[in-house]
Structure 1
Amino acid sequence: MDVERLMRDLTIDQLQNIQESLSKQTEEKREELRKMVGRRYRDVLDASKTVKRLTEVAGELAVKMETIRTVTKTATWTPPPKLPVKTETIIRYGLLQKLVPLLNDKTDGLSDVFALVLAENLHRGVSIEAADFASAGVVLASPLKSIGQLLIQHRLSLLDRLQHTLGDDTDWQSVSGLLVAIALLKQYSLEELLEVYLRARKAHIAKTLENCSTLLSVIEEMKKTVECVDDVFGRGAAICSALAVVTEPGWCPDQIMTVVQFQVSDYSKQLRAEIARVNGSYSKSKAQLSEEFVEKQATAWIEALCGSLETRLRSMASFFEKTADIVDFVVAVDDIFGTPWPCVASNSAVYNQLFGSSLLDRFKALTKIEVSALERQLREKAVHASMTNQPSLFQRRGTRFDALIASGVSQELHDAIEGVFEVLSGIIASTSKYVSIGKEADKDSLQTTLAEAALDLTKRLTEEAEREAPEGDVRNFWLTRFRLFLALVQHEPAVLCQCMGRNTEAIIGCNKLLHTAAEKSLCNFMDAFIAETVAQSKISLMPEYVASPVKFLDLAQEVEKHKLAETDATTIEIPTQLSRFYFAFLYSICAKTNTYAVAHLFTRNVTTHVSKVLGQILAKSLIEAATKAATDVPMILAQVLFDAKTLFFMFMDPGLLEAVKIVEEKLDPINRAVLVEPLTKNAKLYVQRTTMLFGQLQVEPITASGQPADLPDSYTSLIDITPFITNIPRLPLIPGMSVIEQQTSPEDAKRKKKAAARQAPKNEGTLPHASSDAVIGSLLGAKQNISSLYDKFSTNWFKN
């Protein structure tokens, strides 16, 4: 540190701070030095005490050594008395006394067995010379007997421990050592050792299974067993190598040599001789077993194990509660069986011996259970879905056409069906997965089971609908069933077909069941619906109205003034419209079927049924009306005859022909001959013109591409071609009409005026003079010419 530079560059305050910092550091260093000197001083004092004590001990040792040397020089040696016992026997007894404590040290199986066999050999050798000890005054009978009992008990407990440990172990090194120990202990051959190991493993696996072990762990234990057998007895031949090492003269565990660690050389020599005797004690063949024999024994062991565990394995298979769980288990099992099992001819054979058909049977049972659960779920969701409140097919303010509503299924029901069939698709996927990885010979029967379960599901849904029909709200019940079957047919046919697999007959049968059930449900709905409409309609009053001319005035409609061909002045009145009660009845049915959004879903079978029911109802009404119709009023008879013919052309019921026959019998023959042809023609025209209204109720509706060209003027001049019914919504405005009128050329306007002038006198000549028709027309609010119809509307209406 340059003091002069610091004095020159720094201020006084800075120099003072530096001085204080240096003073503080000096004090700290001084304190550290003081503490270090104190600790070292204490160490020096302790070391000096130790040195002093060593000096004293060395002095004492030197004095004693000098004493020994003095005594040795003055003493005389006398040889010990000669005993009648061999020196080897004495050494054996000494070694036996050293080995007995080692028996309680549990190290490894081979070391314990080697020590036991060595102790037994020593005990046997000493016991033979026990009489010589007795003659010398040394009594060893009692100690040798105690040692003998100890060795017997130790042999039994050691053998039991080895077998227990052998059953738990699958490491080939450990197993080889344990088997060599058992071979020395029991003098077993390699064949017997293989049997011992397989028996121990079988007991261990059975015990493991009793302790709620999983099936996968059992299979893994079996695979580890055969792998260990292959390493120890098969291609690995580890047992042969281990026996060769152990039977090599001079080999012994390290702990045995500790017995003579501080003994004289005679003891070491005797111990090595005894060890060599143990090495050579194994007299069986050490040649490797043939692969065929090992494979045969392993296969027999697997068969015996599977046979003893069959009941337990089946009970464990019953614990699976879902098909997906079985598939996951089979996938895990497939991973275990994916690699070849040594000492086994075929993995599939092991799989079949282990499980048999237990997994397959359980999978079939779960398939039926899950499909039945789906049926219950489907019923519950179908009931809770808002199916009866089906939105209108053509919504007034709808942004676009809803294809789902057009299909006749509500969104709630569609979602319910979709959710249920997602679960069914999962069952199909599980079945396909099991079939692809399963090892059973008849695993393809799962597809048949699934097909039968799906077909039974369809049968129960369709057959139980008849038994579950309530007595109250029949209409909504059948509507709900119809939409359920319709949803199954329209939205999930592929899933049901996948359930059937390649069974074409089952697919056709399922499809036929659903279609038939849907049609039958819709027919039942229409029956209930038509019955309600009949009860609400006035067709039952028709006989009363046609029996009274005064009441019939309320039903009178506009008629056609038809000229007879023979004369120009004679005209007859031909009805052109269906009676109001019948029209309202049919119109109500069509309107309500469209409200429920089912009319466009009619099949030919449903239409035939509905047409038949309507024909029977209308025929019954018309027969009664024809019977009670007033005979003296031709207009009433003509109207009833027109109704009967029109409805016959619509529904083709024989009862309507009977009504026609009754009316024709009441007509005058001349009137009948005049009326038949024009009335029949008007009836056909009416059916054609109302096809858009009532065609959905007819099997073969009469249609026409356009208005016939040969219609008489008396028909074309009619204003109303349908009965006048109140509270009918008006048509929307037509804003383009004014534009069309403005674009009409002056020549076209003049031509139209001339045509109207020519037509006016002709029409005036055909108008009735104070007839009842005029009164009926005024009651119905119907005018007799086009100009009066135009007056109904404001001239500004077409311009809006």
Structure 2
Amino acid sequence: MAGLDVDSMFRQFSVPKIREIEKQVKGDIETKKEDLRQMVGRRYRDIIEAADNIRDMKQMADHIMTSIRDVQNGFDKLQLLQQQLVTAQQRAHLKGHGKVDSELVRDTQLKLLLDVPELIWECLDADSPDTLLPAIWCLLLAENVRHGLMVQLPEDAGDKRSLLDRQTRQLRKLRIAVTEQCDRIFRAVDLETSQSALLDELCAMALLENASISDVLGKFLCLRKDYIVTLFKESDCSSREQMSRCAATIQNTILAVFNVFVPPSGGRESALLHSLRNAVQGEWQPVVFAAFVEEQSRTFKNALPNDVRHFHPDYKAALTDMTSAQLQKACSHWLQESLSVGRNEIVRLVDFCESIDSISALKKSVIETLNTQEPWSVASTAAVGAEFSVYDALIKASLLNRLKTLINETVTGIFDMVGTAIDKEIKLETSPNAQFWLELPSDTVNICSPKDSTIGASNLTLRARAVSPSVYSLCHRVDSQLNALSQALQRYLEVEKETADGDLRAAVSQACSSAVERFGGTITAGAWQARPNNDLPIEGLMRRGRLCLGLCELCPGLKNCLQLENKVKTEPANRRSRDDERGETWITARSALTDAAIACYLIWADHAVNVVSADVSLQDMILSAKRAEEWILSAQEWEVIDIEEETESGRKVASSILVPLQLSRYAHRFLNELTRVVSIEGAHRLPKVVRQRLAGSAWSAFDVAYQRLLSDTSGIGQRQAVQLLFDVKSLNQLLMPEEGSKSMAKLVERLESLIDPFDLDVLNAHMRRNVVKMVQRSAAIFGGVLPTEAMSAAGRASGSKPSGGAEQPQLLPVTASIARFNLLPVAAPTLTGGHPNAGGQPLNSSISADNAELKKRHEPSIAPIKSASTASTKSFYDKISTSWFGNT
């Protein structure tokens, strides 16, 4: 648009459009004018500010030049005054030594200036704290002589001035060397440094830097802190040496401050102030300088000025001690910083300790290094305002934290090892039948009370307790490792009386409790995952359960570790209460292990019943009882009882009835096979709740089979119904002795409906008697799967003569206290730990619920245990396998 001329615009645009374009162009013109005005204004302001700055700079330069001239005039006046002072001193010296001229005095001082560096290097080469103060005194003397010669020498003495310049450069190097030597010596202050040597060092520092006592203390503490920092960077020292030297450095520094900077009682001066006053105002001279002067000629001695012969360092700081508040503030600040640096490094070094014994050795080394004599309490109180222990403030917390970490790692590693090793041991372990029921020539009888530990018992005693070699080996390893842990902890506490021993004992107890709870939870979770409806193996459940119980019975070290929190060392052992010996921690841990064992046992019990039921084909055998040929093959022995009945006419009619004497073949076979399977796994040590679970699961299996059989009663005769009724009542008495079952009542009601009421009335009394006999005979034979109440009920029934003059059954006695386990199952002691059915729910209801859930799932993947059934039908005892009484 800008390139169009006027004619083109009038041809292309209308008049209103052209007016708009004109208005826009005028607006742009005004905008550019405004921008230009603002730019010019800014530039004008910049020029004004630059002019003001130039004027200020000129005024400042004039002021600086005036000040420089004033300083130059002051230097000229001082030089003139010094020349007048030196001239007066020379006149006084020449007045006393009339034959000595000024040239000889200058030459003598120049010779002294040339010889003093050799004296200084001699002191430095000695590398001793006692030679540091003489070296600094000689250095200050040489600098004072050099300053005087700079004024005294005339301008035309070119050779002497060049020699003076060379010595000036050498004195500068000497000051640097002396300063480095001073810093190095301060860093190495320890108990072997005497108080006089430390005083000389600090006094030398004050004279060298013309510092006050507070400045000397700050420099000394700063150097000691730097030494602590560099101490941990030395690679040629072990961790133990580094920590010991750090603790000793902090303690030695506090002792040095107390001996040097703290004024004694009675208003006297501190040792450092007294030493400084003696060096500045007294007649003290270094021995090395006095010996040097004595070796010179008489002319040299007479030519030395008095201010050189009796030199006193020019100390301009105030000769006063620090107040107690200032001293404690400086020391407390340094102590906090040093402890912070030391703790950070010690935490890193302590992490390299992999055992409690190494920490005990470290603690012993540090305590032996520290000085625990009587002056420490007074020194720490005076220096920092309160008594403290270097070990407690610096190292104790780090050691305790590392100890707790090691304790947790050790205990966790022990139980992780058990969890890993149990699976390997199960794979390598032989059959339980060969472990528990085979006697070896090396077996010895070992009679021990139930309270005694099984560790160290004979093989026979271990097998009597159903302890397999793998379980015993693992428990023994756990016990030995926990005992080693307790002994290592005791050795740590014996190094020195530890105020935190209760925390360490509680840490061991809590670590064991947490590990046991976690281990029990892992076992329980694994047990529920290994239920028969899953694909996981289930053979090791009994081993895992025995391992949990073995940790309670075979590991006294575990009990001791769990009770460390409740033990009081000052209380005699015979005065501890039983509640202290059985601490809550131990009870909780034992309950966790017992719960895990019970969970394994219960799941295994259900699995065993299911496997045996499938192996003997229980349901098929019961259902086949309807067929006549099966009935003949499974015919049992019946008791023939002669009875007389009186007719309505008064005539007596003699008849006989048949009453069942023994269980059916399928029931015998099922119970016998289940007993064999359970006995192989050590039935004599099964807890009460597991035996109840076995009996309940077995009854549930029978109940399901009977319910299926009675769903169709066609084909079941009266005699078959009588036998089935006898089986149901006998099995119920054997497997569920304490309480009746609703399912049993329904079965009895349905079976009784199949029997003639008059015959049933006659049979009831005789059937009850035979059921009692059957329970008495089976209590010992099938004791491995029967609950304790069934065996107790059988024993009570056998003690009283039954009605009807029946003969007493011949049963072998079963005792719970034996010196050498017999071949009959012994009732296991009742466990006090909790179990899944301990919440008040009836056992048979929980068993039925579990079995109902199991029936909905697929069959277990474990191969059923093979059994050899007997086919004899002559008598009850002919049907029992003789393998129970043998060694195989």
TM over 0.5: yes
Distance 1:561 1:377, change over 3 A: same
Map 1:507-546 onto structure 2 (within 5 A): 507-546=586-625
Q: Is the 8 A contact 1:352 1:439 kept in 2?
A: no
Quote how far apart the aligned CAs of 1:518 are. Answer: 0.9
Alignment of 1:69-218 (within 5 A): 85=102, 87-105=104-122, 106=124, 107=126, 108-130=131-153, 133-134=154-155, 140-170=160-190, 171-172=193-194, 173-212=196-235, 213=237, 214-218=242-246
Post-superposition shift, 1:344?
1.4
Report the CA distance between 1:650 and its aligned residue: 1.7
- CA shift in 2, pair 1:163/1:400, >3 Å: closer
Aligned 8 A contact 1:317 1:359 in 2 = yes
1:362-414: per-residue Cα shift (whole Å, max 9, x none)?
33333222222112211233233355633454545665452212222223322
Q: CA deviation at 1:487?
A: 0.9
CA distance in structure 2 between the partners assigned to 1:558 and 1:145 by the alignment: 137
**Corresponding residue to 1:318 among 330, 338, 351:** 351
**1:113 and 1:185 in contact (8 A); partners too:** yes
Q: Secondary structure at the match of 1:570?
A: strand
Verify: 1:344 aligned to 2:380, yes or no.
yes
* Contact kept? 2:606, 2:693, Cα under 8 Å: no
Post-superposition Cα deviations, 1:160-207, rounded to whole Å, max 9, x if no partner, equal: 221122212321243333223223322334443333322222111211
CA deviations on 1:624-659 (whole Å, 9 max, x unpaired) are 344566756433221111000101112234333332
Distance in 2 (CA, whole Å) between partners of 1:305 and 1:719 is: 88
Counterpart CA distance in 1 for 2:756 and 2:710 is 15
Q: % of aligned pairs identical?
A: 19
Q: Structure 1 unaligned runs (5+)?
A: 1-81, 722-730, 733-777, 784-788, 790-800
Correspondence for 1:700: 789
1:409 aligns with 2:467: yes
Map 1:777-796 to 2 at 5 A.
780-781=873-874
Q: Does 1:265 align with 2:285?
A: no
3-state SS of 1:188 partner? coil
When residues 328 and 291 of structure 1 are mapped into structure 2, their CA distance, relative to the original with a 3 A threshold, is farther
| Cα deviation, residue 541, structure 1 | 3.0
Matches within 5 A, 1:56-71: none
Cα contact 2:243–2:366 (8 A) shared by 1: no
SS of the residue aligned with 1:561? Answer: strand
1:362 is aligned, of 402, 406, 413, to: 402
- Once the two structures are TM-superposed, the CA of residue 149 in structure 1 deviates from its matched residue by 3.1
Shift of 1:231: 4.0
Partners in 1 of 2:688 and 2:372 — Cα distance?
61
1:478 Cα deviation from its structure 2 partner? 0.5
Counterpart-to-counterpart distance in 2, 1:633 and 1:365: 75
Change (3 A) 1:185 1:709: closer
The equivalent of 1:591 in structure 2 is: 676
What do residues 762-789 of structure 1 show as CA deviations (whole Å, max 9, x unaligned)? xxxxxxxxxxxxxxxx983469xxxxx9
Instruction: Give SS of 2:663's match.
Output: coil
CA contact under 8 A between 1:626 and 1:640: conserved in structure 2?
no
- Structure 1 residue identity aligned to 2:558: V
Number of residue-to-residue matches in the alignment? 644
Match of 2:776 among 680, 688, 705: 688
1:231, 1:305 → 2: CA distance? 20
In the TM superposition, 1:735-774 aligns within 5 A as: none
Kindly state the Cα deviation for residue 254 of structure 1 after the two structures are TM-superposed. Answer: 4.0
Q: Which residue of 2 aligns with 1:221?
A: 249
Q: Is the Cα contact below 8 Å between 1:647 and 1:656 reproduced in 2?
A: no
Q: 1:472 to 1:517 in 2, by over 3 A?
A: same
Which structure 2 residue ranges, 5 or more long, are not aligned?
Answer: 1-98, 265-269, 446-459, 567-582, 646-651, 813-821, 824-870, 879-888
Amino acid across the alignment from 1:98: D
The one of 545, 565, 569 equivalent to 2:654 is: 569
Query: SS in structure 1 opposite 2:540?
Result: helix
Matched to 2:873, the amino acid is L
Equivalent position of 1:619 in the other structure: 703
Q: CA deviation at 1:613?
A: 0.8
Match of 2:336 among 303, 319, 326: 303
Matched residues in 1 for 2:471 and 2:387: separation?
A: 48
Cα distance, 1:704–1:178 mapped onto 2, change above 3 Å: closer
Question: Does structure 1 conserve the Cα–Cα contact (< 8 Å) formed by 2:479 and 2:557?
Answer: no
**1:452 corresponds to which of 494, 510, 520:** 510
Listed one character per residue, the Cα deviations across residues 6-46 of structure 1 (whole Å, up to 9, x for unaligned) are xxxxxxxxxxxxxxxxxxxxxxxxxxxxxxxxxxxxxxxxx
Alignment of 1:657 onto 2:719:
no
Q: Please point out which of 475, 478, 481 is paired with 2:544.
A: 481
Give the whole-Å Cα distance in 2 for the aligned partners of 1:718 and 1:88: 139
Instruction: Summarize the Cα distance change of 1:538–1:298 in structure 2 as closer, same or farther, 3 Å threshold.
Output: same
- Cα pair 2:136 2:204 within 8 Å, conserved: yes
Any idea what SS the aligned residue of 1:475 has? coil
Query: AA paired with 2:172?
Result: I
Local SS of the residue matching 1:311: helix
In structure 2, distance between residues paired with 1:362 and 1:637: 75
Contact 2:734 2:779 in 1 (8 A): no
Which residue is equivalent to 1:775?
Answer: none
Alignment partner of 1:580 out of 653, 665, 689: 665
Call closer, same or farther: CA 1:670–1:146 in 2, change over 3 Å.
Answer: same
Instruction: Name the SS for the 1:120 alignment partner.
Output: helix
1:49-77 Cα deviation digits (max 9, x unpaired): xxxxxxxxxxxxxxxxxxxxxxxxxxxxx
Once the two structures are overlaid, the 10-residue window that deviates more, 109-118 or 423-432, is 423-432
Q: Letter of the 1:406 partner, please give it.
A: A
Instruction: Return the offset for 1:692.
Output: 1.2
CA RMSD of superposed structures (Å): 3.8
Displacement of 1:113 in angstroms is: 1.4
Would the aligned equivalents of 1:252 and 1:275 in 2 still touch at CA under 8 Å?
A: no
Residue 568 and residue 501 in structure 1: after superposition, are their counterparts in 2 closer, same or farther (change >3 A)?
farther
Shift of 1:676: 2.1
Once residues 281 and 653 of structure 2 are traced to their aligned partners in structure 1, the CA distance between those partners, rounded to angstroms, is 144
8 Å Cα contact 2:411-2:515 kept in structure 1: yes
Other-structure match for 2:729: 645
**Equivalent position of 2:553 in the other structure:** 490
SS at match of 1:560: strand
CA drift of 1:473 comes to 6.5
CA, structure 1 residues 782+161, in 2 after alignment: closer, same or farther (shift >3 Å)? closer
| Deviates most, 236-245 or 627-636 | 236-245
Q: 1:641 is aligned with what amino acid?
A: L
Paired residues of 1:631 and 1:637 also in contact (CA < 8 A): no
Residue aligning to 1:425: 483
CA distance in 1, matches of 2:430, 2:745: 38
Choose from 608, 626, 635 the match for 2:719.
635
Change (3 A) 1:158 1:538: same
Are the equivalent residues in 1 in contact too, given 2:105–2:304 (CA < 8 A)? no
User: Closer, same or farther in 2 for the Cα pair 1:221/1:489, shift >3 Å?
Assistant: same
Amino acid at match of 1:411: P
Change (3 A) 1:632 1:454: closer
The normalised TM-score by structure 1 is: 0.72
Counterpart Cα distance in 1 of 2:706 and 2:100: 146
Separation of aligned partners in 2, 1:128 and 1:720: 132
Partners of 2:641 and 2:656 within 8 A in 1: yes
Between 1 and 2, higher relative CO (CA 8 Å, sep ≥ 6) is seen in: 2
Deviation string 1:198-218 (CA, Å, 9 cap, x unpaired) is: 222211121111224522221
User: Which residue in the other structure is 1:378 paired with?
Assistant: 418
How far apart are the structure 1 equivalents of 2:110 and 2:228?
44
Assess, with a 3 A threshold, how the Cα gap between structure 1 residues 96 and 719 changes in structure 2: closer, same or farther.
closer
Of stretches 469-478 and 202-211 in structure 1, the one that deviates more from structure 2 is 469-478
